[in-house]
Structure 1
Amino acid sequence: MFSSLITSRIVATLSALLVILVGCGAGIWQLNRADQKIRLGDSLAAKLQMPVLNANTDSLSLEQASERRILIRGRFIQAEAIWLDNRPRPIPDGGAGSAGQSGFYVMMPLKLDGQDAIVWVNRGWAPRNNENRTELPPVNTADEAVTIEGVAFPHPGRVYELGQKGDAKAIPRIEQNFDLAFEAQSHGWKQLPFIVRESDSAKKDGLVRNWPSPTNGVDRHYAYAFQWFALALAGFLFWLINGLMKYRRELAVNGDRV
């Protein structure tokens, strides 16, 4: 009977199969994303318990510094700041606020004291002016040397980008994504092979640094996975129930003819 349901309704079977494959594939992808976030969160939590590194005294590679707490001391080069657009306001786990509010990550190079080297700092999030994209919010930047504690990452996170990269000489410089190698090449200066995401959320400089943990949103991935698997199941049940109804009608018609 089951094979009859397939062969007698090729179009319906192929359509149902497509829905099932899409639903299962998307559900599995959501589960994998949740698993990736959990593993990343566990790795970050373990590395945050390790001793604090010092970029001014230690020679650090990306592998040594990645996801580790780190201290840096130097002076910001305000004129070379990059404003990364389309970044949502960071809301910590269990926190309240407008998570959908769009704004900028403020990337600013810092000249290390005692070294001829630059380290890029993700200083935090600032809201954008929805009516005028180039009107930037005020951010307080000290003129003297500052000491910053943060966490080292390979990059500040990426968003989908259309078109080519913006003009490196533009002021203000608003970009969609940050490319560490491109900045080293365009400026011709020595850079550390990582960026530092500043951690001090109490500093009064006009920026938000309530960074969520990597596991933030895991429950949402599970919910999306459930919806996709439910869609796949609904597609199968719709195909099966309609097939059985058609099969019973055909039996009834054949019985009347006999």
Structure 2
Amino acid sequence: MNGFRRPSWWALLLTVAGALLFLRLGVWQLHRADFKESLLRRYAAAETAAPQDFAKVAATPPADSFPRVQVHGRYLADRLYLLDNPKHDERGGVEVFAPFELAGHAPLLLVDLGFLPGSGNGKTPQLPPLPSTPVALHGLYVPPPPTGFEMGGNALARQTHWPKQSIYLAMGQVAADLGRPLYPRVLALDADASSIYAREHTLDLSMPPARHRAYAFQWFAFAVAAVVILLVLHRKRPPRGR
């Protein structure tokens, strides 16, 4: 290394510590990408799995899987909730949720009936009636829709008639609105060609695997940049002539 000056101990220590930190963060992002891909594969495989006993997973669902279950009970058909945050249709629309009562159980199960496309006029789509008699449902037991900051606070508490509409659907707010506890997850019903609802459920990840890999590349680039900066700052300069 005749073309470089010996760096000071603090400059070398700072560069090594920074490069190791960046490399560690990059590897962590790669591990997160692999984990998210594994979740997506398990979610896709669960859609064709045989239904299992809901009682085994109702209160404590596995964190890294999405059981396909079958439940028996009846809808609270006059207590519908509309999630006004459409992602399926450029004309707008709502995701429709209905509380479902299991015989002999106090908690209610929130059922994702599916997406109801809009007509493009800004009005709420016409909701088809739900059966008033006991029914058997089957679908994936999945985490509830993600929530965020809602201007004005709890929109459900300000509405006096159902169906109630909101841009976010927090499970705690729904439980307080119904005056009944809710199971921690939502039942996303299986696709049904005869249903008016669009049921193309996907796992809603805040950050997909591709973005994790992009961040990993960024952290690795920072590690390389730290070493390059050290070399540039300690490169020997030719003596200036008179």
Instruction: Give the alignment's Cα RMSD to 1 decimal.
Output: 4.4
1:164-218 C-alpha deviation (Å, 9 max, x unpaired): 3323351532141321x4433432235445321112153432x332223689942
Instruction: Check conservation: 2:156, 2:177, Cα contact below 8 A.
Output: no
- Out of 158, 161, 175, the residue aligned to residue 149 of structure 2 is 161
Q: Which structure 2 residues correspond to residues 1-258 of structure 1 after superposition, within 5 A? A: 1-3=5-7, 27-28=26-27, 30-41=29-40, 44=43, 51-53=50-52, 61-63=58-60, 67-86=66-85, 88-89=87-88, 104-112=94-102, 114-115=103-104, 117=106, 118-126=108-116, 132=122, 135-145=123-133, 146-153=135-142, 155-163=143-151, 164-170=153-159, 171=161, 172-179=164-171, 181-189=172-180, 191-205=182-196, 207-212=197-202, 217-234=208-225, 236-237=227-228, 239-240=229-230, 242-243=232-233, 247-249=235-237, 251-253=238-240, 256=241
Structure 1 residue 122 displacement after superposition:
1.5
Q: Secondary structure at the match of 2:83?
A: strand
What is the one-letter code of the residue matched to 1:152? Y
Q: Secondary structure at the match of 2:175?
A: helix
Structure 2 vs 1, CA of residues 76 and 231 (structure 1 numbering), >3 Å: closer, same or farther?
same
Structure 1 residue 120 displacement after superposition:
0.8
Q: Secondary structure at the match of 2:187?
A: strand
Structure 1 residue 123 displacement after superposition:
1.8
Instruction: Check conservation: 1:69, 1:149, Cα contact below 8 A.
Output: yes
Give the alignment's TM-score, normalised by structure 1: 0.63
The gaps in structure 1 that reach 5 residues or longer are 8-12, 90-97
1:53-92 C-alpha deviation (Å, 9 max, x unpaired): 355xx57632368722112344433432223344633xxx
Indicate the residue corresponding to 1:10 in structure 2. none
Instruction: Check conservation: 1:75, 1:144, Cα contact below 8 A.
Output: yes
Structure 2 vs 1, CA of residues 152 and 124 (structure 1 numbering), >3 Å: closer, same or farther?
same
What is the one-letter code of the residue matched to 2:157? A
1:28-63 C-alpha deviation (Å, 9 max, x unpaired): 4532431332443466577677652355xx576323
Q: Secondary structure at the match of 2:180?
A: coil
What is the one-letter code of the residue matched to 1:151? L
- Total equivalences in the alignment: 228
Instruction: Check conservation: 1:88, 1:101, Cα contact below 8 A.
Output: no
Give the whole-Å Cα distance in 2 for the aligned partners of 1:210 and 1:161.
Answer: 26
Give the alignment's TM-score, normalised by structure 2: 0.66
The gaps in structure 2 that reach 5 residues or longer are none
Q: How much identity, in percent, do the aligned residues show?
A: 23
Instruction: Check conservation: 2:154, 2:173, Cα contact below 8 A.
Output: no
1:116-153 C-alpha deviation (Å, 9 max, x unpaired): 65321012234578885xx3234434334443211113
Give the whole-Å Cα distance in 2 for the aligned partners of 1:36 and 1:101.
Answer: 34
Give the whole-Å Cα distance in 1 for the aligned partners of 2:93 and 2:212.
Answer: 24
Instruction: Check conservation: 1:77, 1:109, Cα contact below 8 A.
Output: yes
What is the one-letter code of the residue matched to 2:146? R
What is the one-letter code of the residue matched to 1:223? A
What is the one-letter code of the residue matched to 2:82? W
Structure 1 residue 248 displacement after superposition:
3.5
